[in-house]
């Protein structure tokens, strides 16, 4: 009941391969699954596991992230004993105002780590969309007497050549090897950028690592700890499918996967609601002529045309005769009469003109940037 686990979310990922989607926003602020941003899942995972104290390390482009999380109210993360701490890069006139990576970010936010009262801390990067019960992970960590527990998945889609971090595990689940960005991964266990450990230990390790001139959390610090053999690192396998959001195509696939009932169920259970910023939209209006199949449709839409195999965010208008197939349409976009779009990602507030036609392949979906009219 009393909190013994704090949370920390790092949002400083490099996002070049997400192209237009992350030009003006951080990865964590990326809209997903019809009414969320990626951070909503990261935060809700923590809150639903009883974590009442979460720090969010901001890097750059965080206006949309600030706007989304506001006071933390939607996640019950406002208050005195509980709460959300925003950790913007500490800018003095002469500093460079950006973190070299997670380790650097942790080092710069030692104050947050020190000030907390919780015994354990769970740290999540924001490159995966996943559902995780931290209370189970903490139990696993304690049951196994681990020093550090890393969350991983055996999911094949999460395993990517040339990028990613992979864990070698023995039969007891102890991490024996850590591979970083191998051209050909040797292990099938993909680390999802989520770890849990004693808070004091993390402080110690970060302190030592940075004083030794290390820069990378996984590549150097974890690998070195492992090599020295003093640290027991356990692997905790995720029991649901996570999605690695590193490219436009991966982003597209993750959203489309939510059309499958099993995947949807893994993200949305009534006891563990995913909280997000409210818009107070009315329910979606379907006209007499609308035809919608196999799609997610959020509140506040007006659907007069046809929608198939798509994810429709809040406040989208699809006019008569318009046809949408295999698309992700972000909030407040307007698809005018007779327009036809297929396999596209429409960012927020885009407008597709009357009778305009756009068609791509699912393997390489088009991205229409925010606010554009085409």
Partner 1 sequence: MLQKKQCVAMLLAGGQGSRLGILTRHTAKPAIPFGGKYRIIDFPVSNCTNSGIDVVGVLTQYRPLELNAYIGSGTPWDLDKNTGGIFVLPPYSTGKDGEWYKGTANSIYQNMTFIDQYNPDYVLVLSGDHIYKMDYSEMLAYHIEQEATATIAVRQVPWEETHRFGIMNTDANGVITEFEEKPANAKSNNASMGVYVFTWEKLRSHLIADENDPNSNNDFGRNIIPNMLSQNEKLVAYTFDGYWMDVGTIDSLWEANMDLLKDPPPINLHDRKWRIYARNVGRPPGYVGEKAKISNSLVAEGSDVNGVVENSVLSGGVVVEEGAEIYDSVLMPGAKVCSGAVLNRAIVGENSVIEADAVIGEKDAEIAVIGNNTVIPQGHKVAPGVQEGK
Contact positions toward a copy of itself, by CB under 8 A?
A: 23-24, 60-63, 66, 70-73, 78, 80, 86, 88, 90-93, 97, 278, 280
CB 295 within 8 Å of CB 309? yes
The footprint of partner 1 on this chain (CB under 8 A) covers a number of residues equal to: 52
90 binds, among partner 1, a copy of itself, none (CB under 5 to 8 A by kind): a copy of itself
Residue that has been written with the tokens 């400083």 in this structure: 12
Residue that has been written with the tokens 């009883």 in this structure: 50
Task: Select from 60, 80, 338 the least CA-distant residue to 71.
Answer: 80
Q: Which of residues 104-123 bind partner 1 (CB under 8 A)?
A: 117
**At a CB cut-off of 8 Å and minimum separation 6, what does 45 contact?**
124, 130, 131, 132, 133, 134
259 binds, among partner 1, a copy of itself, none (CB under 5 to 8 A by kind): partner 1
Q: How far is the CB of 279 from partner 1 (least distance, A)?
A: 9
Q: Which is nearer to a copy of itself, 25 or 319 (CB)?
A: 25
Q: Which is nearer to partner 1, 88 or 273 (CB)?
A: 273
**Is residue 88 part of the contact set for partner 1 (CB under 8 A)?**
no
- Cα 68–150–193 angle (5° rounding)? 35
**Is residue 296 part of the contact set for partner 1 (CB under 8 A)?**
yes
Q: Which is nearer to a copy of itself, 69 or 327 (CB)?
A: 69
**Is residue 136 part of the contact set for partner 1 (CB under 8 A)?**
no
Q: Which residue in 8, 33, 234, 256 binds partner 1 (CB under 8 A)?
A: 33
**Is residue 74 part of the contact set for partner 1 (CB under 8 A)?**
yes
Q: How far is the CB of 188 from partner 1 (least distance, A)?
A: 30
Q: Which is nearer to partner 1, 88 or 283 (CB)?
A: 283
State the virtual CA torsion across 212, 147, 191, 57 in degrees, nearest 10. -60
63 binds, among partner 1, a copy of itself, none (CB under 5 to 8 A by kind): a copy of itself
62 binds, among a copy of itself, partner 1, none (CB under 5 to 8 A by kind): a copy of itself
**At a CB cut-off of 8 Å and minimum separation 6, what does 54 contact?**
6, 7, 8, 9, 43, 46, 47, 72, 75, 77, 83, 84, 85
Stretch that binds partner 1, among 181-189, 235-243, 309-317, 342-350 (CB under 8 A): 309-317
What DSSP letter does each residue of 92-113 carry, written as one string?
-TTS----SSHHHHHHHTHHHH
Q: How far is the CB of 16 from a copy of itself (least distance, A)?
A: 10
**Is residue 156 part of the contact set for partner 1 (CB under 8 A)?**
no
3-state SS, one letter per residue, for 186-243: CCCEEEEEEEEEEHHHHHHHHHHHHHCCCCCHHHHHHHHHHHHCCCCEEEEECCCCCE
**Is residue 293 part of the contact set for partner 1 (CB under 8 A)?**
yes
Task: Select from 19, 9, 98 the least CA-distant residue to 45.
Answer: 9
**Is residue 295 part of the contact set for partner 1 (CB under 8 A)?**
yes
**At a CB cut-off of 8 Å and minimum separation 6, what does 349 contact?**
330, 331, 332, 333, 370, 371
Q: How far is the CB of 284 from partner 1 (least distance, A)?
A: 5
**At a CB cut-off of 8 Å and minimum separation 6, what does 139 contact?**
none
Interface positions with partner 1 (CB under 8 A): 1-3, 33-35, 73-74, 76, 78-82, 117, 259, 264, 267-268, 270-271, 273-276, 278, 280-300, 302, 307, 311-313
């Amino acid at each position: 009941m009393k909190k013994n686990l704090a949370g920390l979310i790092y949002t400083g990922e490099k996002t070049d391969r997400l192209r237009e989607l992350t030009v003006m926003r951080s990865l964590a602020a990326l809209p997903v699954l019809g009414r969320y941003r990626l951070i909503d899942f990261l935060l809700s995972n923590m809150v639903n596991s009883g974590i009442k104290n979460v720090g969010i390390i901001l890097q750059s482009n965080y206006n949309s992230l600030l706007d989304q999380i506001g006071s933390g109210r939607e996640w019950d993360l406002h208050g005195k004993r509980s709460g959300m701490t925003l950790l913007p890069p500490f800018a003095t006139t002469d500093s460079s105002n950006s973190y070299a990576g997670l380790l650097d970010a942790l080092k710069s936010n030692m104050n947050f780590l020190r000030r907390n009262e919780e015994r354990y801390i769970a740290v999540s990067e924001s490159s995966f969309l996943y559902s995780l019960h931290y209370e189970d992970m903490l139990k696993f960590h304690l049951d196994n007497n681990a020093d550090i527990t890393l969350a991983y998945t055996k999911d094949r889609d999460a395993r990517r050549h040339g990028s990613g971090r992979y864990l070698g595990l023995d039969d007891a689940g102890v991490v024996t090897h850590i591979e970083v960005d191998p051209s050909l991964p040797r292990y099938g266990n993909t680390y999802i950028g989520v770890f849990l450990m004693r808070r004091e230990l993390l402080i110690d390790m970060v302190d030592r690592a940075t004083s030794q001139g290390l820069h990378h959390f996984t590549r150097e610090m974890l690998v070195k700890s492992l090599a020295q053999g003093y640290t027991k690192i356990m692997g905790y396998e995720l029991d649901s499918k996570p999605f690695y959001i590193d490219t436009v195509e991966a982003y597209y696939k993750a959203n489309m996967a939510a059309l499958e009932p099993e995947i949807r169920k893994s993200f949305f259970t009534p006891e563990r609601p995913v909280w997000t910023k409210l818009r107070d939209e009315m329910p979606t209006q379907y006209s007499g002529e609308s035809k919608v199949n196999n799609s997610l449709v959020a509140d506040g839409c007006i659907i007069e045309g046809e929608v198939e195999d798509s994810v429709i965010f809040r406040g989208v208008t699809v006019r008569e005769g318009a046809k949408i197939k295999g698309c992700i349409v972000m909030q407040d976009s307007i698809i005018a009469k007779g327009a036809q779009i297929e396999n596209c990602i429409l960012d927020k507030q885009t407008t597709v003109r009357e009778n305009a036609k756009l068609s791509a392949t699912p393997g390489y979906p088009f991205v229409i940037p925010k606010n554009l009219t085409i």
